[in-house]
Structure 1
Amino acid sequence: MKFIMLASLIAPAAAFTRASTSATRYAATRAFSGSSALFANPKVYFDMEVGGKDVGRITFELRADVAPKTAENFRALCTGEKGYGYAGSSFHRVIPQFMCQGGDFTNHNGTGGKSIYGTKVISILALIFFVSQHHHLKLNRSIKYFTIETLQFEDENFVLKHVGKGILSMANAGPNTNGSQFFICTVDTPWLDGAHVVFGKVVDGLEVVDTIEGVGSRSGSTSAPVKIKACGEIKED
């Protein structure tokens, strides 16, 4: 008996993105007011360790007024409110006079990470047929479903530029592949404009960035482990 498998893609049984409630609310409120002046951009922090020693805090302002979806992704990964995030993860790639990269809290080597933005589920119907001894196709009634998940999101915009030290931007693997990996610039990097989404900047703790940069190398490997010991959001009254 000879088996033939035919696979066909059905209309997605479920295709959705769980957009961030707070990002959506922020954008809607700003659109209604016509101004961002009444709303403060969120601030978040990393408490850093280098070589197992505390080296201080980096504080970021997230530009939710320009890139609300990207800013919300980073904020929620700092708080860990989705059940996963940056706490305990490392900076896996540090190149002096360029940037410090982190955010891979799944594989810890630059190949992983994920955003907060849902899963896109696609159902695939696999129909198993067999050829009977009379050379007629008969359905074996075996139906299998598969799901494909993606935890990346699109490039929101390229309004903000890589204008200098302390700029916070998304690392990616090409267009529209934003997850959780990010980098902090240590110099002007204008060649990254239009390819990586800038969504914030360091507002305090540049000396900590200097310390991290100091254990980097041309290859990106670090001479000592660089770890985000703790992180979260700074609530301002």
Structure 2
Amino acid sequence: MLLFVNVPWQFCTGEYRKAGLPVGYKNCQFHRGDGSGCVSIYGSKFDDENFIAKHTGPGLLSMANSGPNANGCQFFITCAKCDWLDNKHVVFGRVLGDGLLVVRKIENVATGQQNRPKLPCIIAECGEM
């Protein structure tokens, strides 16, 4: 993945800690969330940074939120152009190279209740690699 400018790395690398324990994405399962109920390195919520980058195609990383200026820790990866998300969700990076093949595999996993994948889709490693 390529993160765009001014994106904090602490959540990706596990440097952020709460009660002495690392908080981040390692070993988290992909699921469908609603952008609520999570913690960020800034506390419970943080403001939208900017809407310069648009949802122009597959492989873009964008913040899930529960409304304007209500970003937490949840993100999503686009699988197609999603212009209806422009000016509502901040695009902060994109998937590089063969990573898009992984995104396509996750996209094709059947889902069950609440649109959760029927097979586990786990972030096994994250951070700077």
Same fold at TM > 0.5: yes
Asked if 1:117 corresponds to 2:42, the answer is yes
User: Shift of residue 221 of structure 1?
Assistant: 2.1
Residue 214 of structure 1: how far off its partner (Å): 1.1
Provide the C-alpha distance between the structure 2 equivalents of 1:85 and 1:225, rounded to a whole number of angstroms. 18
Unmatched segments (≥5 aa) in structure 1:
1-59, 94-100, 102-108, 119-150
Distance 1:183 1:216 in 2: 17
Name the CA shift for 1:184/1:160 in 2 (closer, same or farther; >3 Å). same
8 Å contact kept, 1:117–1:152: yes
Distance (whole Å) between structure 2 residues aligned to residue 110 and residue 170 of structure 1: 8
Residues 154 and 176, structure 1, Cα contact 8 Å, conserved in 2 = yes
Q: Which residue of 2 aligns with 1:76?
A: 10
- Match runs of 1:25-44 below 5 Å: none
Shift of residue 110 of structure 1? 6.1
Structure showing greater Rg? 1
Conserved 8 A contact 2:36-2:72: no
Matched, 1:61 2:2: yes
Q: 1:230 aligns with which of 112, 122, 125?
A: 125
Contact 2:57–2:78, Cα closer than 8 Å, also in 1: yes
CA RMSD for the aligned pairs? 1.9
- State percent identity of aligned pairs: 49
TM-score by length of 1: 0.48
Residue identity in the other structure for 1:80:
G
CA distance in 2, matches of 1:209, 1:81: 25
> How does 1:69-218 map onto structure 2 within 5 Å?
71-72=7-8, 75-83=9-17, 84-93=23-32, 111-118=36-43, 151-204=44-97, 205-217=99-111
- Per the alignment, in what secondary structure is the counterpart of residue 12 of structure 2? helix
When normalised by structure 2's length, the TM-score is: 0.86
Measured in 2, the distance between the counterparts of 1:228 and 1:178 equals 20
**How much does 1:113 deviate?**
2.1
Match of 1:226, SS? coil
How many angstroms apart in 2 are the aligned matches of 1:221 and 1:61? 26
The separation in 1 between residues aligned to 2:35 and 2:31, in whole angstroms, is 7
The secondary structure found in structure 1 opposite 2:125 is: strand
Task: Judge conservation of contact 1:92–1:110 (CA < 8 Å) in 2.
Answer: no
Query: Are the equivalent residues in 2 in contact too, given 1:166–1:202 (CA < 8 A)?
Result: yes
May I ask how many residue pairs the two structures share in their alignment?
Answer: 122
Greater strand share, 1 or 2? Answer: 1
Q: What is the rounded CA distance, in whole Å, between the counterparts of 2:125 and 2:94 in structure 1? A: 19
For residues 110 and 177 of structure 1, the distance between their equivalents in structure 2, rounded to whole angstroms, comes to 8
Q: 1:52-100: CA deviations, max 9, x gaps?
A: xxxxxxxx10111xxx1xx21xx2111000121111111112xxxxxxx
CA drift of 1:117 comes to 1.2
